[in-house]
Structure 1
Amino acid sequence: MTARITRRQLVQRGAAGVTLLSLPGLLAACGGGGGGGGGQLNDVLRFSNWPLYIDVDEKTKKHPTLDAFTKETGIKVDYFEDINDNATYFAKIQGPLGQGRGIDRDLIVMTDSSRFPALLIKKGWLEKLDRDRIPNIGNLVDAQASPPFDPDRSYSLPWQSGMTGIAWNEDVTGPVTSVDQLFNDPKLKGKVTVLSEFADSIGLTMLSNGDDPSKVTEESFARALATIQKAVDSGQIRQFTGNDYAQPLTKGDIAAAVAWSGDVVQLLADNPKLKWAIPEKGGMIWTDNMLIPQGGSAPTASTYMNFVYDPKIAARIAAYVNYVTPVKGAREELAKTDPETAKNALIFPTDDMLSQVHQFDAEALQNDDYQARWQKVLGA
């Protein structure tokens, strides 16, 4: 890449969000996946990830942790920043995978709340982890041990996570601490945005209604939908957004938003009056997961997973990307070199914060009727 922009500049341009981090994608839809299964390590790991989602030496433009992995294991990494968004990437890979072919990748990263990791598992298009090669899996934080889409973590390990809550601009409003306030406070009318992402906004609203987003029922879904529709009809909600709420919030054009924690980390440099919090009745957590696509080398990919689950390595990645690391001990390691970043609770949530966030029902994400009804609320 030439003239590489920083992650914060990318957010400022409204080009990508924390959960959705997007740039144009490129997929080699050829057969094979670096040699397939078996017990042998390959000489090369072919790794597809989102842009600006791994540590970079700004002078050399190299990835220090990838170089360290090669030095330690002898495995070269062909690293591709070719995942534009979950839906687009899935559309590219489903053809070859559906024909029983590989996609020339050993490792890909996709978001659990997008429904696609669960769909890949259901269709049998993923290789199982080679857990014997991942002793560091014991460093996985407890809150991520058993997600609804992969309860035993047979097919996935978290890469990074983020939280969904409420952000507000203190130049415009006081604290906005609940979804009920966001949707009903007359002082906020017409100054609120809500994420168009199904799991984020439906999940927060379910929590506000006293329902469990990890176990969606027709009744709880209908209640959440009605709550949001009412706020749309009343004019409380100005619009549904991706991360393009970022600049209006920073400038004070909107007062409050359903927002991703990582966006606020990035935007604080421009406006320290921005605040983010988990709503009183709870927030949502999403995770970008490392997955081994059909035909990929499970031993090689699993060896890399073990490497990045070393707290020292996880700390180096977290210090650059500013997402929530899933690795125990990373904060303590980072505190040795960057104590201020290590203190940031939006990057290293406290146990109390993690106890307040919830994952969304994987089966509900696959419900076409729910998706169609949500699209209707969005006006699509």
Structure 2
Amino acid sequence: MTMLATGCLGVRAAPPGATPTASPALTVYGWAGYMPQSILDDFTAEFGVPVTYLEFAGYRQALAEIRAGQVYDVVVLSNDGVASASAENLLAPLDPAAVPNTKNLSPNFRDLVYDPGNHYSVPFQWGTTGLLVRTDLVAGPVDSWTALWDPAYAGRVAIWDMPRDVIGMTLKSLGYSLNSEDPAELEAAAARLAELQGRVLILDSTVATLAPELVSGRIVLAMGWGYDYLAAREEVETVDYVLPREGTLLWVDHLTIPANSPHREQAQQFINFILRPEISARMVNELAVATPNELARPYIDPALLANPGVYPPLEALEHAELFLPLNAATLERYDQIWQQFRSAGATVAP
């Protein structure tokens, strides 16, 4: 009777003396604080696949580890990270039949230039990079990236240990493109960035949010994101999030499967699960980070949909730019600029 019931449930009993086969476990690699544990637990409960979420310090670290043969099943990559990894054959192609929920994505996030046809990647989060301002501790309104260079706030300004973002922001402050590969413009950016040496706090990229620094008043101006703003506003009302007039930096995070993943089937199940409208909406509601999942909108807290720090109005994106892949020579120059900046006494904070 017991065996019959088990068979009816679709579960085959192991032969006597056999060792049950353990379910494959997925390893997901991404930013700190970007994946609610409750969602990982729900995936495990439904599919019987345990998930370990590991935190990286940045996309370039993830790419370096994949190149070295480190095994992960799902890795979060940026726009330019997807382009680099796919060009180097580091990613497994996605089977559209295994990830049908890609149909839920807004057309604005499909078939992007760095991954035509979403062959290797699925966007699952997006946002802007702007200025976080303690309005009660600065003099007058702030609407430009150049405010970070104001000597009045020296020692109370924060940026992140993220070269592509900081150098891109510096280029924008000079009126150049975020994706400039012009050597003269890069030299101008290097000189401009050097002016911040000894005057800024550099935050470790594994830190989930700089909200505590804003709340304490240790930092009055910072490069940051909408979720920093919302976290800080829970404790202090005099915090604002500004998209600078020179233009914000648009970023998109993607779920990808490394080519050496031993669990591609389960990895695609995981990606498809994240793209369910109600799951994508839960991520927005818990993390205050926008989703490209169009069908998730009815499940998202209306206050977040109306919050410009999460879903900015179109007019605020007039001069916005999306991170695009850079050539090898430019990436090498970025490394040189950043190392020179970091080696000249810049302060790093946990």
TM-score (norm 1): 0.71
1-structure distance, mates of 2:142, 2:107? 29
In the alignment, which residue of structure 1 is the partner of 2:289? 323
Mapped partners of 2:343, 2:117: distance in 1: 38
Asked if 1:344 corresponds to 2:303, the answer is: no
The aligned amino acid for 1:314 is: S
Q: Report matched runs for 1:11-50 at 5 Å.
A: 44=24, 46-50=26-30
1:110 alignment partner AA: L
- Over 3 Å counting, the alpha-carbon distance change for 1:198 and 1:151 in structure 2 is farther
In structure 2, how many angstroms separate the alpha carbons of the residues matched to 1:246 and 1:378?
23
Change (3 A) 1:350 1:135: farther
Q: Is the 8 A contact 1:65 1:317 kept in 2?
A: no
For the residue of structure 2 that corresponds to 1:167, the secondary structure is strand
Structure 2 residue 233 is the aligned partner of structure 1 residue 252: no
Alignment of 1:203-214 (within 5 A): 203-214=168-179
Q: Is the 8 A contact 1:192 1:254 kept in 2?
A: yes
TM-aligned CA deviation for residue 246 of structure 1: 4.1
1:78 aligned partner, one-letter code? P
**Secondary structure of 2:73's aligned partner:** coil
Map Cα deviations across residues 273-301 of structure 1 (whole Å, 9 max, x no partner): 11111111111122332111114354543
- The answer to whether 1:66 aligns with 2:39 is no
Q: Tell me, what secondary structure is at the counterpart of 2:224?
A: strand
Q: Decide whether the 8 Å contact of 1:319 with 1:341 is kept in 2.
A: yes
User: 1:361: Cα distance to partner?
Assistant: 3.3
Q: What is the distance in 2 between the residues matched to 1:226 and 1:208?
A: 12
Distance 1:358-1:106 versus aligned 2 partners, 3 A rule: same
Secondary structure of the structure 1 residue equivalent to 2:69: helix
1:94 alignment partner in structure 2: 67
* Partner Cα distance (1:354, 1:157) in 2: 23
The residue correspondences of 1:164-243 to structure 2 (distance < 5 A) are 164-173=129-138, 174-183=140-149, 185-232=150-197, 237-242=199-204
CA RMSD across the alignment: 3.1
Given that residues 332 and 342 in structure 1 are in contact (C-alpha distance below 8 angstroms), is that contact kept between their aligned partners in structure 2?
Answer: no
Letter in 1 for 2:153: L
Give the one of 249, 255, 279 matched to 2:244: 279
Q: CA deviation at 1:46?
A: 1.8
1:81 partnered with 2:48 = no
**Aligned match of 2:320:** 357
Match of 2:229 in 1: 264
Residue by residue over 1:200-253, the C-alpha shift from the partner in whole angstroms, topping out at 9 and shown as x without a partner, is: 122122223222223432222222222222344xx7x33333367543332223
Measure, in 1, the Cα distance between the counterparts of 2:316 and 2:93: 31
Q: How many pairs were matched up?
A: 314
For 1:373, which of 328, 337, 347 is the aligned residue?
Answer: 337
Matched position secondary structure for 2:55: coil
Letter in 1 for 2:102: I
Maintained 8 Å contact 1:47/1:77: no
Residue 53 of structure 1 is matched in structure 2 by 34
Over residues 115-139 of structure 1, what are the superposed CA-to-partner deviations in whole Å (9 max), with x where a residue is unaligned? 6444422321210111233343233
C-alpha distance in structure 1 between counterparts of 2:189 and 2:61, whole Å: 27
Distance in structure 2 (CA, Å) of the matches to 1:63 and 1:301:
12
Q: Does 1:108 align with 2:72?
A: no
In 2 relative to 1, CA 46–238 (structure 1 residues): closer, same or farther, beyond 3 Å? Answer: closer
Equivalent residues of 1:55, 1:317 under 8 A apart: yes
Q: Give the whole-Å Cα distance in 1 for the aligned partners of 2:51 and 2:190.
A: 40
With over 3 angstroms needed to count, the CA separation of the structure-2 counterparts of 1:251 and 1:136, relative to structure 1, is same
Identity over aligned pairs, percent = 25
**Preserved contact between residue 205 and residue 224 of structure 1 (Cα < 8 Å):** yes
In 2, the alpha carbon distance for the partners of 1:77 and 1:189 equals 49
- The structural deviation recorded for 1:328 is 1.3
How many Å separate the matches in 2 of 1:152 and 1:220? 33
Gap change, CA 1:151 and 1:371, over 3 Å in 2: farther
Contact preservation (8 Å) 1:130, 1:299: no
- CA-to-aligned-CA distance 1:311-350 (integer Å, 9 cap, x gap): 222112221222221211323322xxx4334433323333
The residue number in structure 1 matching 2:90 is 125
SS at match of 2:67: helix
- State the secondary structure of the residue aligned to 1:132: coil
| Uncovered stretches (5+) of structure 2, i.e. residues with no partner | 1-22, 345-350
CA contact (8 A) 1:165 1:260 kept: yes
8 A contact 1:161–1:288 mirrored in 2? yes
Which one has the largest radius of gyration?
2
Q: Which residue of 2 aligns with 1:4?
A: none
1:269 counterpart letter in structure 2: E
What SS does structure 2 have at the residue aligned with 1:240?
A: strand
Distance 1:195 1:54, change over 3 A: closer
Structure 1: how far apart are the matches of 2:219 and 2:282? 35
